[in-house]
């Protein structure tokens, strides 16, 4: 299997994705499955990833022990080449560790079959990348809708879900715009809408603001914080301490291990 992140992970909609009906005076903001904060979402034990490159092995992850709780907003910082993207790919079921175990809810990602990993990726995990990875010929609505392909959903259901995702990221009025007609921040909002449209349990973000100026970065961080407040677990790897200041918990990946960031 390839460790390269897929630009548009397949996704599907679980029955819990349907928002509850609101009492007249109740505002329901969450579209994410209820995530009890007490149960660990991820449990990593002794996770090691070695890449064989010619005569030299590279081991960016060397016995990582880490627990991530549902509902957390966690950032992971660390030096370039330190293994942040490698770790995110393992959390995202895009790759398997060379040694150690990764439990994601009730699934052991380290020993799961390819088919199981594909299902986990497609139903429970959303991805966001620095480069947005939108399809330039498609509108914002169509780019988000791509994530609902092959779901067997009715057109009306898809339209409603895409509309809700675009509303959540504040782009309801840009649904018909193509990439070239959107600012960088708006493009990343579309990518986030695509990542959340199937109501995943976790959003994994690799340098989500790396291509944005400060103002747009802050807008995206506000949005991520709002999504987290709505119940979405977020794990973001970043070079930018401004991103880390928004987190519940700041971690550092250095020397192949994850540490609590004391800075
Ligand atoms: N598929 C691969 N094959 C071989 N080596 C790899 C592969 N992917 C990553 N590496 C190596 O593993 C190390 C960690 O890479 P990784 O991309 O995880 O670092 P990073 O912390 O995300 O870096 P950056 O901050 O620059 O994005 C690097 O030395 C990299 O060259
Ligand atoms: Mg990286």
Confidence band (pLDDT; 50, 70, 90) for 34?
Answer: low
User: For residue 18, is pLDDT > 90?
Assistant: no
pLDDT at 54: 83
CATH assignment of 37-260? 3.40.50.300
Beta bridge partners of residue 58, listed in sequence order: 51
122: phi then psi, degrees, rounded to nearest 5: -80, -20
Q: Closest ligand 1 atom to the C-alpha of 239? A: 25
Question: Measured in angstroms, how far is the CA atom of residue 214 from the centroid of ligand 1?
Answer: 26
> Helix/strand/coil (H, E, C) string of 157-217?
HHHHHHHHHHHHCCCHHHCCCEHHHCCHHHHHHHHHHHHHCCCCCEEEEECCCCCCCHHHH
- Regarding the beta carbon of 80 and ligand 1, being less than 6 Å apart is answered yes
3 C-beta closer than 6 A to ligand 1? yes
- Report d(CA 33, CA 16) in Å as an integer: 6
Joined tokens for residue 73:
């907003």
Ligand 1 center to 167 CA (angstroms): 35
Residue 222 has pLDDT above 50, yes or no: yes
Q: How many angstroms separate the alpha carbon of residue 91 from the centre of ligand 1?
A: 15
- Domain segments of the chain: what residues? 37-260
Contact 161 CB / ligand 1 (< 6 Å): no
Whose tokens are 């100026």? That residue is: 213
pLDDT in tens, 234-248: 999 999 999 999 999
What global pTM score does this model have?
0.85
| Tokens describing residue 252 | 């550092």
């Amino acid at each position: 299997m390839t460790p390269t992140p897929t630009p548009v992970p397949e996704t599907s909609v679980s029955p819990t994705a349907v928002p509850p009906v609101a009492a007249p005076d109740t505002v329901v903001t969450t579209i994410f499955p209820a995530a009890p904060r007490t149960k660990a979402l991820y449990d990593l034990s002794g996770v090691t990833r070695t890449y064989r490159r010619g005569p030299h092995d590279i081991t960016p992850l060397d016995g990582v022990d880490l627990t991530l709780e549902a509902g957390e907003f966690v950032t992971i910082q660390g030096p370039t080449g330190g293994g942040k993207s490698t770790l995110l790919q393992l959390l995202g079921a895009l790759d398997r560790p060379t040694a150690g175990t990764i439990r994601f809810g009730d699934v052991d990602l380290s020993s799961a079959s390819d088919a199981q990993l594909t299902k986990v990726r497609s139903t429970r995990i959303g991805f966001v990348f620095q480069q947005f990875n939108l399809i330039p010929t498609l509108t914002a609505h169509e780019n988000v809708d791509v994530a609902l392909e092959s779901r067997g959903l009715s057109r009306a259901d898809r339209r409603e879900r895409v509309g809700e995702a675009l509303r959540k990221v504040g782009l309801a009025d840009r649904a018909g715009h193509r990439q070239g007609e959107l600012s960088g921040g708006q493009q990343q909002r579309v990518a986030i809408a695509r990542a959340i449209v199937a109501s995943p349990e976790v959003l994994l973000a690799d340098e989500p603001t790396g291509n944005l100026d400060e103002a747009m970065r802050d807008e995206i961080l506000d949005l991520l914080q709002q999504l987290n407040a709505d119940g979405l677990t977020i794990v973001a790897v970043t070079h930018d301490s401004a991103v880390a200041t928004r987190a519940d918990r700041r971690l550092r990946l250095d020397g192949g291990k994850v540490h609590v960031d004391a800075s």
